[in-house]
Amino acid sequence: MKYMLLINASAVDEDGGAAGCDVSDWMAYDKQVREAGILVSGESLADLVTATTVRVGEDGRRTVTDGPFAETREILGGFYVIDVPDLDVALDWAARCPGARGNGAVVVRPVAEFGG
């Protein structure tokens, strides 16, 4: 079963780390996830100021806008997709993620399975 761990950090410092942890914590966690053989994919997202939004209206016209910017306190800073047997295991991995510390939070979403 695949789960996406959405890493929401209240603020991202210059090293890309969330509050309460540093880059070495992230590297250690990343290594653990890889070595456990559960990693499907994972990325750290670039700074939110680089984000761009695209919407397509009913008339088919494209609107491109700068942002979004951090209007809420929590912003998506990165994600992992892991493949583990059940929610408890996914929650264990989420709890070990440095992004869950400080004011951060990790949201766990099961990936929908189609067919079968």
Partner 1 sequence: MGGAPADTGGTDEAPAAVVEAVFREERGRLLAALVRRFGDLDLAEEVTSEAVEAALTRWPVDGVPPRPGAWLMTTARRRAVDRLRRDQALAARLAILQAEADRAEPAPAPMPGGELPDERLQLFFTCAHPALAAEDHGALTLRYLAGLTTPEVARAFLVPTATMAKRITRAKKKIHEARIPFRVPGAQELPQRLPGVLQAVYSIFTEGYAASEGPRLQRLDLAEEAIRLARILRRLLPAGREVAGLLALMLLIHARRDARTGPDDELVLLDEQDRGRWDRRMIAEGLDLVPVALAGGPPGPYGVQAAIAALHVEAADLATTDWPQIVALYDVLLALAPSPVVALNRAAAVAMRDGPEAGLALLDELADEPLLRGHHPYPAARADLLHCLGRHADAAEAYREALGLAGTEPERALLRRRLDAIERLRAPGT
List contacts with partner 1 (CB under 8 A).
1, 85-89, 91, 108, 110, 112, 116
Helix (H) or strand (E) holding 32: helix 23-35
- Of the pair 1, 36, the CB lying nearest partner 1 is at 1
- Of the pair 49, 112, the CB lying nearest partner 1 is at 112
Pick from 8, 10, 5, 47: which is nearest to 30 by CA?
Answer: 5
In the chain, the N- to C-terminal Cα span, in Å, equals: 13
- Of the pair 60, 115, the CB lying nearest partner 1 is at 115
Question: What is the nearest approach in angstroms of partner 1 to the Cβ of residue 62?
Answer: 34
Question: What is the nearest approach in angstroms of partner 1 to the Cβ of residue 54?
Answer: 30
- Of the pair 9, 94, the CB lying nearest partner 1 is at 94
Whole-angstrom Cα distance, residue 93 to residue 76?
Answer: 18
Question: What is the nearest approach in angstroms of partner 1 to the Cβ of residue 92?
Answer: 9
Is 52 exposed, middle or buried, given 0-12, 13-18 or 19+ CB atoms closer than 10 A? Answer: exposed
